[in-house]
Amino acid sequence: QLWNSGRQPQVTESAAVGKVFFTDPSDGQDHVCTGSALNTPSKQLVITAGSCVHGGQGRTWMTNWVYAPRYRSGSYPYGTFAAKEFRIFTAWIDSSAPGRDLAVVTTWPQDGTRLVDATGGQGLSWNYPRTVPVMVLTYSLDRSNGESQQPCADTTTQGFYSGTIGIYCQLGSRGPGGPWLRVFDDSTGLGHVNGVLTAIDCSDFNQSPYFDDAVKSMVDAQGSAT
């Protein structure tokens, strides 16, 4: 279990949230993010921040990308699921637009088992008010050195940038991609993804793209790909 005080409540680690490992060709270094399994028709989709898949304006696609469900301190209870196909917004590639810092990733099955069949998957929320209660789960490098899921419960608000929402969670900017979960059920580790932690950090104020019709369309477009 996870234990923190204040807005960091006690929750059970979710099998449908995992740590992402990849190489950034821009610097040749290995990096990490957080992702979450989405329950789409393919049962193979991960949702994460756009910066965890593509470096944004003037940069390129990440390589050696794998997702490790419920990773903890060197343990891989579900193994790893390698990326097969990425989908992100052109506004992120062309201009690093904060409101489009979002990606979905189709993964390869592992020994014939699809991701969501192994771990369960989150639902998706879109077009909700900008003020909704959420539970954030993330492998923040600013907490636990990214070795375990870190929680924060808060109510979203308007973000600092166009097309964003925010929360006061003090999660830092290192290790983005963690899901912002509406109607989170601690007994299952599941909820509906209503945002993802981005690399933008303004003191203790963390931000996410606002999930609108375009986000739903992107998930639908990739959600059946196998």
User: pLDDT tens, 6-20?
Assistant: 456 678 899 999 999
**What secondary structure, in 3-state letters, does 25-92 show?**
CCCCEEEEEEEEEECCCCCCEEEECHHHCECCCCCCECEEEEEEECCECCECCCCCEEEEEEEECHHH
Query: 114 and 138: one domain?
Result: no
Is 9 part of any domain? no
Query: 219 and 110: one domain?
Result: yes
Is 12 part of any domain? no
**For residue 43, is pLDDT > 60?**
yes
Query: 106 and 146: one domain?
Result: no
Query: 113 and 140: one domain?
Result: no
**For residue 30, is pLDDT > 80?**
yes
pTM for the structure as a whole: 0.94
How much is the pLDDT for 5? 35
112 in helix, strand or coil? Answer: coil
Find the range with the poorest average confidence among 47-61, 108-122, 148-162. 148-162
Is 83 part of any domain? yes
CATH number at residue 49: 2.40.10.10
How much is the pLDDT for 185? 96
**How many separate domains does the chain show?**
2
Is 135 part of any domain? yes
Separation CA 42–CA 207 (nearest Å): 29
Is 75 part of any domain? yes
Mean pLDDT, rounded, for 178-190: 96
Query: 168 and 99: one domain?
Result: no
Query: 21 and 112: one domain?
Result: yes
**For residue 194, is pLDDT > 90?**
yes
Query: 110 and 219: one domain?
Result: yes
Mean pLDDT, rounded, for 202-209: 82
**For residue 200, is pLDDT > 90?**
no
pLDDT, tens digit, 9 for 90 and up, residues 67-89: 999 999 999 999 999 999 999 99
Query: Are 121 and 115 within 8 A, CB to CB?
Result: yes
* Percentage of residues of the chain with pLDDT beyond 70: 93
Separation CA 178–CA 28 (nearest Å): 24
Query: 70 and 176: one domain?
Result: no
Query: 53 and 35: one domain?
Result: yes
Neighbours of 90 (CB within 10 A): 9
Is 6 part of any domain? no
Is 79 part of any domain? yes
Query: 129 and 188: one domain?
Result: yes
Structure tokens at 216: 């739903």
Query: 33 and 107: one domain?
Result: yes
How much is the pLDDT for 171? 76
Range of the domain at 150: 123-211
Mean pLDDT, rounded, for 20-32: 96
